[in-house]
Structure 1
Amino acid sequence: MTSHDARPSGCTPFEEELVNVLKNYADSADTPAFDAPGIVRRTRRRRNAGIAAVAAVLILGGGGTALATSVAGGSHSTPSRSTEAENHDAATVLYGIDADSGRPFPIDFHGWDLRGFKAYMSKMQTKLGTVSERPVTGCKPGSVIAVSPHTPKVVKSGDTISVVLCAGGR
Structure 2
Amino acid sequence: MTSNDSRPFGCAHPTSFEEELVNAMNNFANSADAPTFDAPGITRRSRRKRATAIAGISAALIVAGGGTALASITGGSDAPKPAPAAAITAAPAKDAATLLFAHSAGMTIPIDLLGASLADAKGQIEKTQTKLGKVSKVDCGKYGKPGTVIQVDPHSPKTVANGDTVNVTLCAG
Question: Which category describes the TM-score, using the shorter chain as reference length?
Answer: 0.3 to 0.5
TM-score (norm 2): 0.45
